[in-house]
């Protein structure tokens, strides 16, 4: 051993100072619904590893309506969790509100702005200096008018949804009433007797209508019947034979969507025929049914089912509120 102190120091091996290296985290896994599935991490240099970029969306969070600071905390908690993996310190709601110039968090536009700031920091596009100031972020890039614009657009969307809901509901009630009356009439006449009615007149024709998508043909039919009836006590017995004691009842029948006998039936059954069996009310022969027995036209359900399906879509749409639309309309 040398007696010289400086010789001893020179001979000792030089030790390097320890360094703190932040290793990039592994790619994120798919988390359960309560935890959004995000991936990405910074390298030890502070930059985001290539190919692993945070691409979060609002739909990744378990929030249905972004209207409170508790909802905002969902974004902040996730940000702090991921930022801690990069060696950063947690940020508060106050930090996000001051950085984004949002005084009251209560809309989806606010949530988009918070998430944009969080992603910018995590992906290295926005830096936080030692004073806590942001570099690469201008709050004017995410102005408050977005919130006002979203609120206005939402208001008019809700009004449109409420108006459409009202019109469709009226359509359902009207078509449903017509269908109900038709079905009840058929049920009443299911057990009526039948008689051979004289076919006085029968006519069929086609109407063509044209529009931007081309032309279409619609078939129509019209018939006049004559029924000869004799009264026995309180009930009538009718057929197509005229006698001195018969009373004549004449009817006209035109095809239509809600009519019991569709146009195809009329053409098949009445073309070239002199008589046709019809059902009649024995207590009042003025009530007749061209197609005896209960017959269900499934096409009748379309004016009811289609509007109902649209009403269901409108009512369950998460982007509009019929109730809010009505409130907006009647509060003007």
Summarised one tens digit per residue, pLDDT across range 224-237 is 999 999 999 899 99
Cα distances from 129 to residues 135, 136, 146, in angstroms, run 7, 11, 28
Question: Are 111 and 164 in a shared domain?
Answer: no
Long-range contacts of 298-307, Cβ-Cβ distance < 8 Å, separation of 24 or more? 299/257, 300/179, 300/182, 300/257, 300/258, 301/179, 303/171, 303/175, 303/179, 304/172, 304/175, 304/176, 304/179, 307/168, 307/169, 307/171, 307/172, 307/175
Question: Are 130 and 35 in a shared domain?
Answer: yes
More confident residue, 52 or 290: 290
- pLDDT value of position 46: 44
Kindly indicate the confidence band of residue 22, based on its pLDDT and cuts at 50, 70 and 90. Answer: very low
The pLDDT of 48-52, averaged and rounded, is 48
In a domain, 101, yes or no: yes
| Cβ contact 221:266 at 8 Å | yes
Question: Are 135 and 55 in a shared domain?
Answer: yes
In a domain, 48, yes or no: yes
Question: Token pair for residue 157?
Answer: 């969307």
The pLDDT of 56-61, averaged and rounded, is 91
> In the chain, how long is the greatest CA-to-CA distance?
156
Question: Are 164 and 229 in a shared domain?
Answer: no
In a domain, 6, yes or no: no
The pLDDT of 127-132, averaged and rounded, is 77
Instruction: Say if residue 27's pLDDT is above 70.
Output: no
Question: Are 44 and 64 in a shared domain?
Answer: yes
In a domain, 99, yes or no: yes
More confident residue, 92 or 290: 92
- pLDDT value of position 37: 44
Measured at the CA of 40, the angle between CA 37 and CA 42, to 5 degrees, comes to 150
Tally of CB atoms within 10 A around 90 = 12
Instruction: Say if residue 246's pLDDT is above 50.
Output: yes
Question: Token pair for residue 169?
Answer: 């509901």
In a domain, 62, yes or no: yes
pLDDT in tens, 279-323: 898 998 888 888 776 666 666 677 788 888 888 888 888 888 888
Please name the residues in contact with 157: beta carbons below 8 A apart, sequence gap of 6 or more.
Answer: 319, 320, 325
In a domain, 17, yes or no: no
Gap between the Cα atoms of 195 and 135, Å rounded: 93
| Predicted structure pTM score | 0.39
Instruction: Say if residue 121's pLDDT is above 50.
Output: yes
Q: At which of 110, 143, 176 does a domain end?
A: 143
* Beta-bridge mates of residue 199: 225
- pLDDT value of position 295: 65
Please name the residues in contact with 215: beta carbons below 8 A apart, sequence gap of 6 or more.
Answer: 208, 209
Question: Are 202 and 284 in a shared domain?
Answer: yes
The pLDDT of 165-173, averaged and rounded, is 90
Measured between its terminal Cα atoms, the distance across the chain in Å is 98
Q: Please, where are the H alpha helices in 189-301?
A: 263-270
Question: Are 88 and 157 in a shared domain?
Answer: no
Q: At which of 106, 126, 143 does a domain end?
A: 143
Q: At which of 108, 143, 178 does a domain end?
A: 143
The pLDDT of 161-188, averaged and rounded, is 82
Question: Are 134 and 26 in a shared domain?
Answer: yes
In a domain, 255, yes or no: yes
How many structural domains compose the chain? Answer: 3
Question: Are 40 and 136 in a shared domain?
Answer: yes
Among 80-84, 185-189, 251-255, the minimum mean pLDDT is found in 185-189
Instruction: Say if residue 38's pLDDT is above 60.
Output: no
In a domain, 128, yes or no: yes
Question: Are 62 and 119 in a shared domain?
Answer: yes
Tally of CB atoms within 10 A around 298 = 7
Question: Are 139 and 261 in a shared domain?
Answer: no
Question: Are 27 and 139 in a shared domain?
Answer: yes
| Residue 61: domain span | 22-143
């Amino acid at each position: 051993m040398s007696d010289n102190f400086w010789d001893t120091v020179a001979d000792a091996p030089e030790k390097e100072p320890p360094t703190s290296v932040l290793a990039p985290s592994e790619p994120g896994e798919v988390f359960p619904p309560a935890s959004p599935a995000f991936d990405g991490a910074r390298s030890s240099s502070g930059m985001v590893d290539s190919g692993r970029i945070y691409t979060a969306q609002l739909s990744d969070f378990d929030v249905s309506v972004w209207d409170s600071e508790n909802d905002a905390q969902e974004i902040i908690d996730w940000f702090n969790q991921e930022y801690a993996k990069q060696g950063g310190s947690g940020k508060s709601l106050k930090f996000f509100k001051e950085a984004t110039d949002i005084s009251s968090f209560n809309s989806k536009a606010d949530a988009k702005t918070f998430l944009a700031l969080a992603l910018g920091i995590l992906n290295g596009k926005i830096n936080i200096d030692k004073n806590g100031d942001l570099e690469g972020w201008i709050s004017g890039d995410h102005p408050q008018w977005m919130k006002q614009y979203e609120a206005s657009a939402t208001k008019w969307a809700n009004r449109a949804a409420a108006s459409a809901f009202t019109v469709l509901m009226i359509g359902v009630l009207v078509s449903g009433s017509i269908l109900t009356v038709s079905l009840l009439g058929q049920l009443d006449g299911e057990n009526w007797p039948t008689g051979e009615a004289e076919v006085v007149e029968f006519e069929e024709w086609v109407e063509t209508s044209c529009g931007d998508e081309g032309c279409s043909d619609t078939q129509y039919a019209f018939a006049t019947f004559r029924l000869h009836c004799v009264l026995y006590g309180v009930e009538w017995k009718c057929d197509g034979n005229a006698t001195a004691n018969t009373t004549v009842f004449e009817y006209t029948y035109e095809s239509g969507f809600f009519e019991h006998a569709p146009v195809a039936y009329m053409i098949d059954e009445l073309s070239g025929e002199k008589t046709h069996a019809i059902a009649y009310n024995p207590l009042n022969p003025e009530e007749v049914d061209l197609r005896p027995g209960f017959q269900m036209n499934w096409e009748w359900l379309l004016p009811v089912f289609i509007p109902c399906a649209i009403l269901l879509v409108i009512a369950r749409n998460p982007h509009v509120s019929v109730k809010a639309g009505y409130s907006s309309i009647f509060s003007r």
